[in-house]
A and B are shown apart, each in its own frame.
Chain A
Amino acid sequence: MMPRGWCIRTILWGACLGGAAPANAAGPAPDSRPAGQRLYGEHCLSCHQADGGGVPNMQPAIAGGTWVKGDARPLAMFVMSGGFDSASRKDSSVGNVMPPFRQLADADLAEILTYIRQKFGDGASPVTAAEVAEARRSLPASP
């Protein structure tokens, strides 16, 4: 019997793999998803969901927004900084504040940003690790 997680991932992502994932009855199948998709699954998906649509009243959608398909630099800076909680945001329609993801490596952030731009941002241009590194240099020092 295949591990449950393997089956679910196959259902959710099988369409994106372009073919059947290798069956491996002895243990979990190797994760052959593209790096950006895998990293999105690890760090972003539980809040923003597989379709990038977010959760009403909880987390906003990535898909359909302007940030995801705008300039790479402010997008990278936002993801590294996270949302900010302040009195002025108490009227926001979403409950949760996004944590910062500056702990991720430039290359991994570039994979995630490229993935969300391709999938949720009308195919906006890829983001390189060098662009993420440049954006990182513009961030205020970590608190």
Chain B
Amino acid sequence: MRIACLVRVASVALLPAFAGMAFGAQGSGNNDGLTLPDGFSAVVVQEGQGTGRHLTVAANGDIYLAGSNGLSALRDTNGDGKADVVTPFGDVKGTEVRIFKNWLYVSDDVGVYRYPLKKGELAPKGARETVVSEFPKERQHADKTFALDTKGTLYVNVGAPSNSCQQKDRQEGSLGQNPCPILEKYGGVWVFDGTKLNQTPANGRRFATGMRNAVAIEWNTAQNALFAVIHGRDSLDTLFPALYNAQDNATRQAEEFHQIVDGGNYGWPYTFFDTTLGKRVLAPEYGGDAKKEPEAGKYANPLVAFPAHWAPNDLLFYSGKNFPAKYQDGAFIAFHGSWNRAPEPQAGYKVVFQPMKDGKPNGAYEVFADGFAGEMKDNSPRNAQYRPVGLSVGPDGSLYVSDSQKGRVWRISHVKK
């Protein structure tokens, strides 16, 4: 198509014009069933094919989506927000996808790789290079999400293949291993030079520890600092029924939002932040009695304690030009939604906005986008219509959200100036 060719040649130059057209011509009307703050509008970029994990939007508006079925490149050739071209590529099945300079960095459960991004190519045609490989293969908390700073330093989330480092994982009454040997290779962030190739975990360094699974990890360029929202522990009630009931398990252990500093320790598996008590407590595997606190000052308290089991799966600091001023430098968090709250109602399944100033929370968090899950029959995550999992900002400042159930992608824009 002639228009498509023109857009491919001049997509960067034309994008602002198309973006303007798009804002005035949002077609879906009901925001695809999502609830958004006044003045915002959602359009479906991709109807959904297969699964989705994280996504990233290039400076020319091209979208790269990771998924457990593989990677795909999406392009909107006529500026209506919908992807007209969807091209699967590569051979990496995983969660993370990010752009650094002219490279597309991606990951699976055992490594981080990159593809060259070249002008004129939607799907990269160049060979895949290995940045880090040979992370031990695990089944639990295995996704190697990562962040890259402006120099190409690579921060990899190495989730712990365990719930609470019990002697017998997830077994009622089993006590914790102390010290937890898992922390030697997992349960933290490992740092690498992301511009070097063919590294193994031995080439990296443990940057921070005590993090069960920091799927939502992000470099904040304005603050020149790393942040993460960490998945808290499961199963307080079934593992220690004398101390906790089902409602305690559904509500007490926070999903913790932290600034991650070099040498930091965030308390897993020995502790968790109890949202009911508003303080950090010893985990029951490590002598906790639902009240006892760890040694003062040993572990940082979270910047924000989000509700239990909401499953923070992506974090983004907004610096785009489309959203109103209050969103600048604030954090968006995609909560994938719970499974471990049953029999209590499941929760999460939404995108939340946390106002921030100078890298600190600046007021209470608010729900930004909701309605992904639909009715969710039988209170089962399996029956969620959609589950938000990834976030990215386009060159026009729109927020892109990906879904893990069907691979749907939305573009959310502020349309009322």
Contact = CB atoms under 8 A, between A and B. Distances in A.
Interface stretch (A16-24, A88-96, A110-118, A129-137): A88-96
B10 to A, nearest CB: 42
B339 A49 contact: yes
Interface string A44-74: 0111011101111011000000000000000
Given A95-B141, A96-B170, A103-B172, A45 B342 contact: yes
Which 6 residue pairs spanning A and B have beta carbons closest together?
A51-B378, A99-B171, A55-B339, A95-B140, A49-B380, A95-B139
Interface string B167-201: 01111100000000000000000000000000000
A100 interface: yes
Nearest to B377: A51
A50 B412 CA distance: 34
B343 A41 contact: yes
Given A90-B138, A97-B170, A50 B343 contact: yes
Nearest to A98: B170
9 contacts: A45-B342, A47-B340, A49-B342, A50-B342, A55-B381, A56-B381, A85-B169, A90-B139, A94-B139
B50 interface: no
B170 A46 contact: no
A4 to B, nearest CB: 7
Looking at B140, B249, B343, B378, the one whose CB has the most chain A CB atoms below 10 A away is B343
A108 to B, nearest CB: 13
B235 interface: yes
Contacts of B245: 5
Interface string B370-411: 000000011111110000000000000000000000000000
Nearest to B166: A99
A85 B139 CA distance: 10
A49 B343 CA distance: 8
Contacts of B140: 95-96
Give chain A's interface residue range (CB within 8 Å of chain B).
20 to 34
A96 B139 CA distance: 7
A99 B141 CA distance: 18
Contacts of A47: 339-340
B240 to A, nearest CB: 13
B345 interface: yes
A99 B345 contact: no
Interface size class of B (residues with CB under 8 A): 20 to 34
A91 B158 CA distance: 18
Interface string B115-153: 000000000000000000000011111100000000000
B319 interface: no
Interface in B228-256: 235, 237-238, 241, 245-247, 249
B47 interface: no
Interface of A: 4-5, 8-9, 12, 41-43, 45-47, 49-51, 53-56, 58-59, 82, 85, 89-90, 92, 94-97, 99-100, 103
B381 A8 contact: no
A99 B246 contact: no
B71 to A, nearest CB: 19
Contact of A12 (B141, B379, B381): B379
B262 interface: no
Given A51-B380, A99-B171, A58 B139 contact: no
A8 B241 CA distance: 19
B344 interface: yes
A46 B342 contact: yes
Contact of A45 (B172, B343, B345): B343
Contact of B345 (A8, A49, A53, A100): A8
B168 A99 contact: yes
Contacts of B171: 82, 99-100
Given A55-B382, A96-B170, A97-B170, A12 B343 contact: yes
Contacts of A89: 139
Contacts of B169: 85, 97, 99
Nearest to B378: A51
Interface in B321-365: 339-345
B246 A46 contact: yes
A61 B232 CA distance: 24
A41 to B, nearest CB: 6
B339 A50 contact: no
A95 B197 CA distance: 30
A55 B247 CA distance: 20
Nearest to B109: A90
Contact of A5 (B235, B246, B381): B246
Nearest to A57: B68
Contacts of B241: 42
Contacts of A55: 339, 380-382
Candidate in B137, B245, B380, B381 with the most chain A CB atoms within 10 angstroms: B380
Nearest to A61: B382
Given A43-B238, A53-B383, 10 more contacts: A5-B247, A5-B344, A8-B343, A45-B342, A46-B238, A49-B342, A50-B379, A56-B382, A82-B171, A95-B140
